[in-house]
Each structure stands twice: as structure tokens, then as C-alpha cells.
């Protein structure tokens, strides 16, 4: 992948000393489970899309699992999440029911938006997940709104606003940086830099090559993180979240990660060589990294197999539910359009 390979050293890069215990063994197994759940769920969603059971846009998170899992492990109840259209991973780590997520993908009544939102538009107030947004970069301004609400209510809760490197140079993102810094809002901005905005390399699209420094004009501290390493992600998230909880203002994390699939299910990804994808899978896969570490510290292969079997059953059940749940009643066309005064 050349100069786009997730970096683990250098100025601004957060990468933990392996001698420091970022995870207990149980936490590492939990991270493994969550990443495998996202991976298998997304693979099944891709299959259902290929069968014609999922329509519209569908953006898979395969390869980027360590980002959301590492960050989520530093959050507490009440913290809020918002992201773009590559959103299934965030939903699952937030604790949303795989059945409801998959049923929304297939446009069924049992989905989180009752089959009307699809892949890009799902929400759960119960789990503090605020979307799922199809407009590139729009969720960032909403993310600081969530952070403003946290501060206004006098809580120490934080808002996590995810967006891709393709959105990182949008005007609304910089306006959000300004307002967040001005009002010292507890918002962690997370750039999921998978190095391709749709089909364009970030090297060709961004004059700024160090996206973690994009908040510097407003005094927002930043870190570049190896987003393929869940331990590095968690350590960086710990620093960023604590900074926000202390009332110091926003923090920016650039997660250097990689998606194995195309931008969406309709993208053949011919703009990058197959050898690049193969190299990332072979040498940087976040799940394989954790598997190796668990085996090294004495966890039995049989225990990992049991976790994978549990995930397999959950995903199979979600897929069955998503196909058996009825389609929305036509009357649903008229609901959720206006709020009664």
C-alpha cells in the first residue's frame, strides 16, 4: 500500500508499548468477539445484497472493525455516537440488536426505522446512536450539537463524531471545529481515514497530508492512530475521551485504517491493485492481530472457536429474521414525516 499503510510511528502517532496492559485478557476476548461480529455481519449483508434482498446503497465496514471497537471500550452509558453512511459497525458496538439492523437493511417492518431508512438511516435513542447519515460531512455539525447538549445539561458525557477522510476538508467540518473549540464542547472528532474517498486516493484529494493536525488553527489537539490495531485505538480514545470529560474542549483522532471492499456494494474498486488489498489482509488485519495475541497469552483455540460459533449463530438468526419479517404496511408512508405540535 506504499505511503498509505497505517502508520505506527512518527510525530503525532499513538501506538501503545506492548508491555503496557491496555486490555485485560477478558477485555481482549471481548474486543475479538465484537470485531468478529461486525466482520461476519457485514459479510452476510454483502451476501444478501448480492441475492437482491438488500436494495439501495450499502457500505460495508469490513477491515475497519478495530476503530469502533477500540473507541467504544472507552465510553460509558450516556455517551453519544453519530456517523456517516458506513454505519453498521457503530450500531453493533453500541448494542443495537443485529436483528433490527439487518431487518432495516432488507427494508422490513422489524427494522430500526421500520424498513423506511435502509442502510444509511438508522437510529436508536435507547443506545444513544444518532445515525447513520447519507449527506457527506453533515453528521459532524450534528455531533457538536450533541456535545453542546451534554455541556448544557452539565454532564460529563461526550459525543463521538465519526467521518471519513473524504469529508475532512468540507466547510461544515471546519465550521464545526470552530464552534466546538469556541465553546469547549466535549466532542471527539474521529476521521476514519481508509485512504480512498469513493474511488479517489486521499493523496490526490487532500492538500493536507496530516489530517490529525486539521484542528490546530482552533487549538484542537490531535493524534494519528494505527486504526488496524485495537489496542492503539483504545489508548488514543482513552486520552481523547478523558480530555473531553475534563471540560477542556474537543479532540481530533485520525484513524489510519483500510476497507477491504469497495466504497459501496456497487463499487468494483478497480482504482487500487488487488495486491494492495491482499497485503493489508495478510499483514495488518485487526482480527488476526488480536487472535495471535490471545493465543500468545494462553487462550485456547477452542475458546476462540466457541466465540466465533456464537457470532455465526447470531448473524444467521439476524439474517433469518430480516427475511421473514413482513414488509412495512403502506400506511407507514405517512408516518415520521411531521411532528405533531
In the sheet that 13-14 helps form, which strands lie side by side, from edge to edge?
Answer: 13-14, 222-226, 251-256, 187-193, 159-164, 80-82
Please state the domain extents for the chain.
59-325
Q: What was the pLDDT predicted at 124?
A: 96
Q: What was the pLDDT predicted at 340?
A: 79
Q: What was the pLDDT predicted at 20?
A: 54
Report the range out of 1-5, 142-146, 331-335 with the highest average pLDDT: 142-146
Model pLDDT for residues 156-183, shown as the tens digit of each residue? 999 999 999 999 999 999 999 999 999 9
The predicted model gives 212-238 an average pLDDT of: 98
The predicted model gives 202-222 an average pLDDT of: 96
pLDDT over threshold 80, residue 341: no
115-121: Cβ within 8 A, 24+ apart: 115/327, 115/328, 115/332, 116/328, 116/332, 116/336, 118/55, 118/56, 118/57, 119/54, 119/56, 119/57, 119/58, 119/59, 119/85, 119/87, 119/88, 120/56, 120/57, 120/59, 120/85, 120/87
Q: What was the pLDDT predicted at 13?
A: 46
Q: What was the pLDDT predicted at 333?
A: 87
pLDDT over threshold 50, residue 18: no
pLDDT over threshold 70, residue 10: no
C-alpha span between 213 and 300 (Å, rounded): 42
Name the DSSP letter for residue 283. Answer: H
Q: What was the pLDDT predicted at 11?
A: 39
Report the range out of 11-20, 308-317, 328-337 with the highest average pLDDT: 308-317
Q: What was the pLDDT predicted at 257?
A: 97
The predicted model gives 258-263 an average pLDDT of: 93
> Hunting for cell 489508548 — which residue is that?
235
Q: What was the pLDDT predicted at 119?
A: 94
Q: What was the pLDDT predicted at 339?
A: 82
pLDDT over threshold 50, residue 15: no
Model pLDDT for residues 39-81, shown as the tens digit of each residue? 999 999 999 999 999 999 999 999 999 999 999 999 999 999 9
Hey, which residues does 195 pair with through a beta bridge?
none
Q: What is the mean pLDDT of the chain?
A: 93
Q: What was the pLDDT predicted at 302?
A: 98
Model pLDDT for residues 292-322, shown as the tens digit of each residue? 999 999 999 999 999 999 999 999 999 999 9
Given a contact cutoff of 8 angstroms between Cβ atoms, the answer to whether 62 and 260 are in contact is yes
Q: What was the pLDDT predicted at 1?
A: 42
Q: What was the pLDDT predicted at 162?
A: 98
C-alpha span between 282 and 276 (Å, rounded): 10
pLDDT over threshold 80, residue 9: no
C-alpha span between 17 and 146 (Å, rounded): 34
Q: How confident is the model at residue 120 (pLDDT cuts 50, 70, 90)?
A: very high
Q: Does domain 59-325 have CATH number 3.50.30.30?
A: no
Q: What was the pLDDT predicted at 17?
A: 43
The predicted model gives 202-229 an average pLDDT of: 96
Which range, of 9-23, 119-133, 182-196, 238-252, averages the lowest pLDDT? Answer: 9-23
pLDDT over threshold 90, residue 275: yes
Amino acid at each position: 500500500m506504499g505511503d498509505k499503510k497505517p502508520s505506527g510511528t512518527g510525530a503525532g502517532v499513538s501506538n501503545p508499548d506492548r508491555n503496557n496492559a491496555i486490555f485485560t485478557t477478558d477485555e481482549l476476548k471481548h474486543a475479538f468477539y465484537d470485531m468478529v461480529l461486525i466482520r461476519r455481519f457485514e459479510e452476510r449483508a454483502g451476501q444478501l445484497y448480492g441475492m437482491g434482498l438488500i436494495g439501495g446503497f450499502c457500505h460495508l465496514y469490513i477491515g475497519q472493525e478495530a476503530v469502533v471497537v477500540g473507541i467504544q471500550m472507552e465510553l460509558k452509558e450516556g455517551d453519544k455516537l453519530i456517523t456517516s453512511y458506513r454505519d453498521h459497525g457503530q450500531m453493533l458496538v453500541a448494542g443495537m440488536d443485529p436483528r433490527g439492523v439487518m431487518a432495516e437493511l432488507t427494508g422490513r417492518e422489524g427494522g430500526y426505522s421500520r424498513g423506511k431508512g435502509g442502510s444509511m438511516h438508522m437510529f436508536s435513542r435507547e443506545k444513544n446512536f444518532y445515525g447513520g447519515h447519507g449527506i457527506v460531512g453533515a453528521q459532524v455539525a450534528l455531533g457538536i450539537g450533541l456535545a453542546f447538549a451534554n455541556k448544557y445539561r452539565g454532564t460529563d458525557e461526550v459525543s463521538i463524531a465519526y467521518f471519513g477522510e473524504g469529508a475532512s476538508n468540507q466547510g461544515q467540518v471546519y465550521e464545526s471545529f470552530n464552534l466546538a473549540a469556541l465553546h469547549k464542547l466535549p466532542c471527539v472528532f474521529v476521521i476514519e481515514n481508509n485512504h480512498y474517498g469513493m474511488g479517489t486516493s486521499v493523496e490526490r484529494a487532500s492538500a493536507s497530508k496530516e489530517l490529525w493536525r486539521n484542528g490546530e488553527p482552533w487549538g484542537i489537539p490531535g493524534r494519528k492512530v494505527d486504526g488496524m490495531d485495537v489496542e492503539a485505538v483504545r489508548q488514543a480514545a482513552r486520552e481523547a475521551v478523558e480530555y473531553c470529560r475534563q471540560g477542556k474542549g474537543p479532540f481530533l483522532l485520525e484513524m489510519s485504517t483500510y476497507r477491504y471492499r469497495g466504497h459501496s456494494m456497487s463499487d468494483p474498486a478497480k482504482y487500487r491493485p488487488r495486491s494492495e488489498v491482499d497485503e493489508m489482509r495478510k499483514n495488518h488485519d485487526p482480527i488476526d492481530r488480536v487472535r495471535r495475541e490471545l493465543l500468545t497469552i494462553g487462550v485456547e483455540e477452542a475458546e476462540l472457536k466457541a466465540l466465533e460459533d456464537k457470532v455465526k449463530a447470531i448473524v444467521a438468526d439476524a439474517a433469518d429474521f430480516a427475511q421473514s419479517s413482513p414488509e412495512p404496511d403502506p400506511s407507514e408512508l405517512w408516518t415520521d414525516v411531521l411532528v405533531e405540535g
